[in-house]
Structure 1
Amino acid sequence: MAVTTGIVVIGVGNEFRRDDGVGPAVVARLQERAERRPLPAGTALAASDGDPGRLIGLWENSALAVVVDAAHAHPGHPGRVHRLELDRHEIGHAGTSSTHGLGLGEAVELSRTLGRMPRHMIVYAVEGADGSLGTGLTAAVAAAVEPLAERIEADIAQHRDAAARGGAPGR
C-alpha cells in the first residue's frame, strides 16, 4: 500500500472552452493568493484536462485532494457551487456530471478500484453557462472564483489542523 502524504488541489478543465476553465482559474487564483500567504508545506496546485489516468496520478498518495471542475445542471444556475466529500473507503459513486467525455465520477471509481484514492477528497463542481470555444469565464462563473479559492484555503487549514491533532478532517 502506498504512503499517504501531502495535499493537492486540482483544477480540471479547458480554459479555451469558456466556463469549462473554472477549475484552472481557481488554481491560478490560489497561486496568486499563495504569493502573499503561502499554503502549507506539501501543498501542490495543478491543472488537468480531466483524463482519468492523469487525475489519478495527481491525487494518488495524497492525504487530501481538492478537485474543482465545471458541471452541467438542468435547470442550471451559473456560478452555483456544489461540494461533495469522499473518503478512501466510502462506498458509493461520485456522480458529478463533468463537462468532459469521461466524468470525474468515473476517475474516482477507477481510482477506488485500483486502490489509489486519496485519504480524503473534496470535489467542488461549479455550474457553468457557456462551454463554447473561446476564453474567459462568464460573469456568474468568474464571480465564484474568489469565494471558492477562500473556501479551499479553509478546507486546507481544517485538514492541517485535524492532522496536527491526529484526527481525520471533519465534515
Structure 2
Amino acid sequence: MRRVLVLGIGNRFRSDDGVGPAVVDRLRALGIPAEERSGEGAELIDAWQGHDTVIVVDACRSDAAPGTVLRIDAAAEPLPAGLFHYSSHLFGLAEAVETARALGRLPRRLIVFGIEGAAFGFGDSLSPAVETAAGEVVRRVAAEVRASGP
C-alpha cells in the first residue's frame, strides 16, 4: 500500500481551473510525486484506492476572495455543498467523496485543498491571486507529504 497520493484536479485551458495541474507541476519540480486528473468522480475513487493518505488540490467557487485557500479534512466531514460544483463533470469531486464514503472506499485521510478561483473562461494562465495561492498550497502540501512519512 502506498502511503500518500497527491492529485491535482482541473483543466489547464480553463484559466484558474488549471490550478490543480499547476500545483502538480511545482510539486514534481520539488521531487514530490503528484498526479494530474480531470476530476471525473469514478476516476478519483479508483485513483485513491490502496492509499493511506490522499491530498487533492482543486479550484473552487464560493463567496470568498479569489486566492483564498481552504483545507478540508474530507474523511472527517463532507465537502461544503456547492464548493466544487462549477465543474463540467456531473459526478465530480464532492460526489466522489460522498459516494466513496457511502461505499466504505474513502482513504483513511483525505485532505482537500480548495483554491478560490476568479476566472474560469478559456485561457492557460492563472489569475494573479490564484497564482500566489498556488505557491502557498505547494508549501502546505509538501509539508503534509513530509509529515506523512516515507
TM normalised by structure 2 equals: 0.89
Q: Deviations over 1:114-140 (max 9, x none)?
A: 222111011000000000011110111
**Aligned with 1:127 (options 94, 111, 116):** 116
RMSD over aligned CA atoms reads 1.6
Deviation at 1:148, TM superposition (A): 0.9
1:169 corresponds to: none
Deviation at 1:65, TM superposition (A): 0.2
Query: Using CA pairs below 8 Å that are at least 6 residues apart, which structure has the higher relative contact order?
Result: 2
Larger Rg: 1
2:68 corresponds to: 80
Are 2:4 and 1:7 equivalent residues in the alignment? Answer: yes
2:78 corresponds to: 93
2:24 corresponds to: 27
Corresponding letter in the other structure for 2:105:
R
Confirm or deny: 8 A CA contact 2:16 2:119 kept in the other structure.
Answer: yes
Q: Which runs of 5 or more structure 2 residues have no equivalent in the other structure?
A: none
Alignment coverage as a number of residue pairs: 146
How many Å separate the matches in 2 of 1:160 and 1:119? 15
Deviation at 1:159, TM superposition (A): 1.8
How many Å separate the matches in 2 of 1:15 and 1:86? 24
Deviation at 1:57, TM superposition (A): 1.2
SS at match of 2:140: helix
Confirm or deny: 8 A CA contact 1:56 1:107 kept in the other structure.
Answer: yes
Deviation at 1:104, TM superposition (A): 1.6
Corresponding letter in the other structure for 1:30:
L
Corresponding letter in the other structure for 1:157:
R
How many Å separate the matches in 1 of 2:148 and 2:74? 14
Confirm or deny: 8 A CA contact 1:72 1:128 kept in the other structure.
Answer: yes
Consecutive aligned runs of 4 or more in structure 1 exceeding 3 Å deviation: none
TM normalised by structure 1 equals: 0.79
SS at match of 1:125: strand
**Aligned with 1:148 (options 137, 142, 145):** 137
SS at match of 1:137: coil
1:168 corresponds to: none
Q: Deviations over 1:83-141 (max 9, x none)?
A: 01133xx4x42226113143422110111222221110110000000000111101110
